[in-house]
Amino acid sequence: MSINMKNAEICGILPYNSKEFQANTVTKEWGWEYIIPGDGYTTKIMELKPGFCCSLHFHRNKSETFVLVQGTLNVEYYESDSTKHIKKLTEPMSSVILPKCTPHIFCTPKNQEFNTIFIESSTVDDKNDNYRLTKSGYDD
């Protein structure tokens, strides 16, 4: 999969140095994430292909906020009593906050003609703090 920087560049949210972009980008089955580490926090610019979902997962130590830039993002999450919530982000700058230990999954509609772009702002990102309950993939 080639990374589609054009959509994010139009939004004015990527650095102009594409080598830096490539070095900090992680390709996923559902799209990609551009990681910007901070001091005590992490910011990610995420691009999600139409019809794809990340895995249902949670983090024991990480809290997250998702902010929509472009497209539609469906965020499904579960409270500690297993109450299911679905928040559909459709307006730029709409957001959802996910406390630590909140199982969640995000998806885009199959019929959307372009990729969804959103920003994840979180406490420090630790690859060992991902507890996956399902696999990522196309939402059949």
Q: What is the pLDDT along the chain (140 residues), one digit of tens a residue?
A: 344 555 555 555 555 455 666 668 889 999 999 998 888 899 999 999 999 999 999 999 999 999 999 999 999 999 989 899 999 999 999 999 999 999 999 999 999 999 999 999 999 888 899 999 999 988 76
Q: If we measure between CA atoms, which residue out of 3, 4, 2, 34 comes closest to residue 20?
A: 34
Total-model pTM: 0.83
Show me where the domains of the chain are located.
Answer: 5-138
Query: DSSP per residue over 34-46, as a string?
Result: EEEE-SSEEEEEE
Amino acid identity, position 32: W
For domain 5-138, which CATH number applies: 2.60.120.10, 3.40.190.290, 3.40.718.10, 1.10.1200.10?
2.60.120.10
Do the beta carbons of residue 120 and residue 68 sit within 8 Å? no
